Amino acid sequence: MRAYIVSTIVGVFAVDENNRLLSSKAFPKEPREAAEKLKLSEIEMLDEERFVRDVLGKKGFREFIFGYRKAGVKHVEPNSPAEQFVKDNVRKLAVDAKIFSNPADLNQFLTKATIELAKVHIKKSIQRDSLVVQANGALEDLDKSINIYMERLREWYGLHFPEMDRAVSGHEKFATLVAKFGDRENVTDADVEGLKKNSMGADLEDEDIRMMQSFAGKILEMYKLREDMVSYVEGILKKVAPNLLDVAGVSLAMRMIAKSGGLARLSRMPSSTIQLIGAEKALFRFLKGKGRSPRHGIIFGHPLIQGARDEHRGKLARLVASKMSIAAKLDFYGKEYRGDKLKKELTEKAKTIVSSKA
Amino acid sequence: MNRIFDGVFVDRGDFFTRNMVPGRRVYGEDLARSQGIEYRRWDFTRSKPAAALKNGIRNFPLHEGMKILYLGVASGTTASHFSDIVGLEGMIYGVDISQRVLRQIIPIAEERGNIAPILGDTRKPEEYAGLILEKVDLVFEDVASDDQIPILIRNCDKFLRSGGFAMIAIKSQSIDVVKSPKEVYRECVGELEKNFEILEKVELDPHEKHHLMVVMRKK
Ligand SMILES: C[S@@+](CC[C@H](N)C(=O)[O-])C[C@H]1O[C@@H](n2cnc3c(N)ncnc32)[C@H](O)[C@@H]1O
C-alpha cells in the first residue's frame, strides 16, 4: 500500500491515491518554529514525517512517497496529484485532523507564521547577502575603472617608453613599474631591461614623468581597494555562505549570489539553472532563434572547469553546479557546515571525469 | 451609510468599509461613525478598487469570509479595506517583491489577523505555494509591470478555484509607453479573454491615470 507524505505549514499529512486522509501530525503551534520546519522539510526528514511514516508502517503501508529528495526517502514524486490535493486543502485538512478547531484560529496562526517568515526573509535579504550583492557591483565598477585608467596609463607612458606596453602585459605590474621607477632609464626589471637602450619613446621632462607616476600610484591604490574588498566579501561569505564559499571560491560564490538575486533565490534553483547563471543574454538570443543554446554561464570561471580540456567541461560544469546547489541550500537554511566534505567529493569526482575518456 | 456591496458602504459620494480595528487608521484615511459603528473612508485617489467604485463598477466580487490572493500588496492601503470586507474568517494572502514596502504592512497584518504578508516574486508562484493553504476565491493583481497579464494567468492557474474571480488593474504605461492606452487595453483584454470570462471593464481615469480595471471569472 502506498501513502503520500506531505508537509505543510500546519503539519504533516499522509493521504492515499484517492486523497483520503490516512494520518497526520501537527507542527508545534509556535509560528516561527512551524515556518522553520516547513523550510527544513525540503532538505531533511522531519521528526513529524518520520512519526507519520512509522504509524502507517504499523498499519501495513510499505511505500512512502515524498515530494523532495532527502536522506531516508526512497520514493520521490514532486508535485504528485496527492501532494497537490493536500496543498490545496490545508485549511480543510487542518480542521478535519483537529489541528485547529476553527478557521479563524488558523488565520491567526497563519498570519503570525507568515509575518515571522517575512521578518526573517527581510532580515536575511537586507543584512547579509545584499551586502555581497552590493560589494560585487562595486567590484565590477572598480574593475571597469581600473581598465579605463590602465588603458590611459599605457598610452600615456607609451609616449615615453612604447616598448614596455607589449613586454609587460600584466596591468598591475605595469602600474607598479611606472609608479616605482618613473623614467625608463631607471626601470629595473628583467622583462624590459633590454628594451630601454633602443626605445623609440620621447625623452620627457621630470614633471611629465612625475604626473604619470602619481596617476599610476592612484591605480595601485585601486588595486589595493579591490583586494580589501575581496577579503571583506570573503569575511561575509564565511558567515552567510560557508559551504558555497568552499565549493565555489570567493569570486565565483559572490557572483553566483549577486547574479541569482541573493542566497534565497540561489538556494531554490535546480542545478540546471545554476549552470546557466550569467548566460541569460545568450539564452534569450537562443530562444529568439539566434545563436546556439548556451551550455553554461559564469560557472565556467570555476578553477576545476577552467583548467580542464574542452571535452570534459560540460560534465564538470554539471558536477560543480550540483555541488553548488547543495551548498547554497545548506547555507540558506542555516544548516551545518559541510563545505570541506563537499569540496573533497567535488575534487574526487572531478578527477574521475578528467581521467575518463570523453 | 448605504450598503452597495458586501462590506462596502457609500455616503455622499465617498466609500467606506467597516473598521475591523476601531480607532486605528492605516494610511491617514478619515474615520466616520454611523449608528455606533466605525467606518474607514476608502480613498478613491489612493486605491484602485475605490476608483473603480467611484466610476460605477457593477461587479465587485468581494464577500465576507473570502480567501483572496493579492499580487502586489505593497504597504497595504487597498489590502486593509479588503481585510475589513472579508473579516476574521476570510484571508488575504498578500505577495510583494519589495521588502521595503512589505515591511510597512507587517504591523497592519499583526493587528488584523487576516492578512498574510509574503515576500515573493509573483513571477515565481511556486516559491510561495507552501504558504497558500487553499484554492482562493479571488485573485487581485496590481503589480504594474510589463508582464502583468502572464503573471495573472499563471497565478490563477495555480491558486484560483474554478468559478473563482480575478481582478486586475492594467497600467497601460507599464505595458507599452508607445501605444495608446486603448490599444494596450484591447490587446490585454484579448489575452485575458482566452483564459477568463470577462465580466466588466472600467477605466479608472481621472483618479488613476491610464488604468483599466478588469473583472473576470475563471471558466
Ligand atoms: C502599484 S503598487 C501596488 C499598490 C497596492 N496595490 C495598493 O493599492 O495599496 C505595485 C506593487 O507591485 C510590486 N511588484 C512589482 N513587481 C512585482 C513582482 N514581480 N512580484 C511581486 N510584487 C511586485 C511592487 O513592489 C509594488 O509594491
Q: From its phi and psi, is residue A182 left (phi > 0), alpha (psi between -120 and 50) or beta? A: left
**Residues A32, A101: one domain?**
yes
Give me the CATH code for the B43-218 domain, please: 3.40.50.150
Determine the pLDDT at residue A224: 96
- Residue B202, φ and ψ in degrees, nearest 5: -135, 125
Determine what percent of chain A is predicted with pLDDT higher than 70.
Answer: 97
Claim to verify: residue A201 and residue A270 sit in the same structural domain: no
Does the beta carbon of A356 lie under 8 angstroms from any beta carbon of chain B? no
Strands A11-15 and A21-26: antiparallel
Q: A54 pLDDT exceeds 60?
A: yes
Q: How many CB pairs under 8 A join A and B?
A: 73
Distance B17 CA to ligand 1 centre (A): 22
Q: Is the pLDDT of residue B79 over 60?
A: yes
- Count of domains in chain A? 3
Q: How confident is the model at residue A334 (pLDDT cuts 50, 70, 90)?
A: low
Nearest to A9 among B88, B103, B130 (CB): B130
> Residue A126: is its pLDDT beyond 60?
no
Same domain for A6 and A43?
A: yes
Local structure of A76: helix, strand or coil: strand
The number of the ligand 1 atom at minimal distance from the alpha carbon of B147 is 19
Q: Is A185 helix (H, G, I), strand (E, B) or coil?
A: helix
Distance from CA of A105 to the nearest CA of B (A): 9
Contact: B116, A110; criterion CB under 8 Å = yes
**A296 and A278 part of one domain:** yes
- pLDDT at site A5: 96
Q: For B5-21, what is each residue's pLDDT tens digit?
A: 999 999 999 999 999 99
Over residues B192-205, the mean pLDDT reads: 96
Q: How far is the CA of A196 from the centre of ligand 1 (A)?
A: 64
Ligand 1 pocket check for B45: Cβ under 6 Å: no
CA–centroid distance, B122 to ligand 1, in Å, is: 9
Which pLDDT tens digit goes with each residue over A143-185?
999 999 999 999 999 999 999 999 999 999 999 999 999 999 9
Is the same domain home to A104 and A31?
A: yes
pLDDT bracket for residue B84 (50, 70, 90)? very high
Question: Distance (Å, rounded) from C-alpha A51 to C-alpha A29?
Answer: 17
Nearest CA to ligand 1 atom 15: B143
Contact A114 B103 (CB under 8 A): no
Going from the Cα of A272 to the center of ligand 1, the distance in angstroms, rounded, reads 30
For residue A321, pLDDT over 60 is answered with yes
- Asked whether B180 lines ligand 1 (CB < 6 A), one says no
Please tell me the predicted confidence (pLDDT) of residue A42: 86
Among A233, A263, A287, where does a domain finish? A233
Ligand 1 site, residue B84, Cβ cutoff 6 A: no
What mean pLDDT comes out for the span B147-161?
A: 95
Closest CA to A298 of A258, A351, A240: A258
What is the CATH classification number for the domain harbouring A185? 1.10.287.4070
Beta strands B37-42 and B14-18: pairing type?
A: antiparallel
On the question of pLDDT at B143 being above 90, the answer is yes
Write the CA distances from B61 to A121, B76, B155, B193, B199, integer angstroms. Answer: 32, 19, 18, 18, 11
Report the pLDDT value the prediction gives residue A128, as an integer from 0 to 100.
67
Q: Take residue A313 and report the three cell numbers written for it.
A: 567541461
Q: Which residue of A has its CA nearest to B106?
A: A115
Atom of ligand 1 nearest to the CA of B76: 9
User: What would the pLDDT profile of A238-276 be if each residue is shown by its tens digit?
Assistant: 888 889 999 999 999 999 999 998 888 898 889 888 988
Mutate to test the pocket of ligand 1, among B43, B47, B82, B98 (most ligand atoms within 8 A of CB): B98
As given in the structure block, the three cell numbers for residue B165 are 474571480
Which domain covers residue A8, as residue numbers? 2-125
Ligand 1 pocket member B97 (CB < 6 A): yes
Mean pLDDT confidence for A77-91: 91
Is A290 a residue whose pLDDT tops 60?
yes
Q: Is the ipTM of this complex over 0.95?
A: no
Rounded CA gap, A264 and B120, in Å? Answer: 11
Are both A160 and A220 inside the same structural domain?
A: yes
Q: A217: Cβ–Cβ under 8 A, 6 or more apart, which residues?
A: A179
Residue A237: pLDDT above 80?
A: yes
SS3 A63: strand
Task: Give the mutation candidate from A6, A107, A267 for the B interface (greatest B CB count, under 10 A).
Answer: A107
Query: Do both A113 and A32 map to the same domain?
Result: yes
Domain of A265, CATH number, reads 1.10.246.90
Residue at a domain's end among A233, A264, A282: A233
Of the residues A103, A125, A147, the one at which a domain ends: A125
SS (H, E, C) chain B: CEEEECCEEEECCEEEEECCCCCCCCCCCCEEEECCEEEEEECCCCCHHHHHHHCCCCCCCCCCCCEEEEECCCCCHHHHHHHHHHCCCCEEEEEECCHHHHHHHHHHHHHHCCEEEEECCCCCHHHCHHHCCECEEEEEECCCCCCHHHHHHHHHHHHEEEEEEEEEEEEHHHHCCCCCHHHHHHHHHHHHHHHEEEEEEEECCCCCCCEEEEEEEEC
Instruction: Please compute, for residue B14, the number of CA atoms within 13 A of its CA located in the half-sphere on the CB side.
Output: 15
